[in-house]
Amino acid sequence: MSTLETIFGLHGRVALVTGSSRGIGAAIAVGLAGAGATVVVHGQSIDATVGTVAAIEASGGTALAFAADLAERGAGRRLVEEVEARLGHLDILVVNASAQINAELADLTEADFDLQVAVNLRSTVEMLQTGLPRMAARGWGRVVSIGSINQLRPKAIVTAYAATKAAQHNLIQSQARDYASHGVLLNTLAPGLVDTDRNAGRKAADPQGWDDYVRTLNWMGRAGQADEMVGAAIFLASDACSFMTGESIVLSGGY
């Protein structure tokens, strides 16, 4: 086995990627499987995971599908427990599933606020409460939280989303300190604008306006692609990240 395979390889590891039925989560799930991990693909329904599971298996990887609505109280805890029960251990947790509702503070409804807090923050707390002690007992673990450039530079149109992402990274930092001595490392990967189906409606409604916006958004003059998040995710999930915890990697094209 080469040095790169030793450092970045994930053979024998089990990874859970929440919200991996599409977009960034799907790309990361396929990437982790390509690095050798057994990947648990998660969606709100089993049907939603079919495409990602098929892509992993077509490349020779191993994937299992799990369904859970992370807006439900206790769903994050149950999801981790079910993965542990079925596979024996969970080594890598990628916290990717999120709810994002465009609304400035004056227009933010109670229901929309509660949904974003439940999915983006409460389910993260539940998964960490359940998964971290088990990782620590085994002496190795990785948590990769998919944050957002909005945790650092919040836009008013995503007031609640930005606040939950900032809180999520704060949570990652606090637990990174507590678990560092146990070989469990927690970091955040914070994308800028990425061209996924989350932005498809905006792009389709005003193609020229979209092009003008992304051209001036960052130094690269374009939106990122989901596949461009994969390399950093593999790094944060692997032994290559052995001296890094509580940090945030920003992939924004120089935003």
Active-site residue numbers? 161
Helices (H), 12-122: 23-34, 50-58, 75-87, 110-117
Strand partners, 130: none
Nearest to 52 by CA among 151, 198, 61, 245: 61
Which residues are within 8 A (CB) of 97 and not within 5 positions of it... i.e. 6 or more apart? 18, 19, 25, 42, 70, 119, 123
- Dist CA 179 CA 232 (whole Å): 21
CB 168 within 8 A of CB 144: no
The CA distance from 174 to 8, in Å, is 26
Q: b vs e for 190-211, b when ≥16 Cβ sit within 10 Å of the residue's Cβ?
A: bbbbbbbeeeeeebeeeeeebe
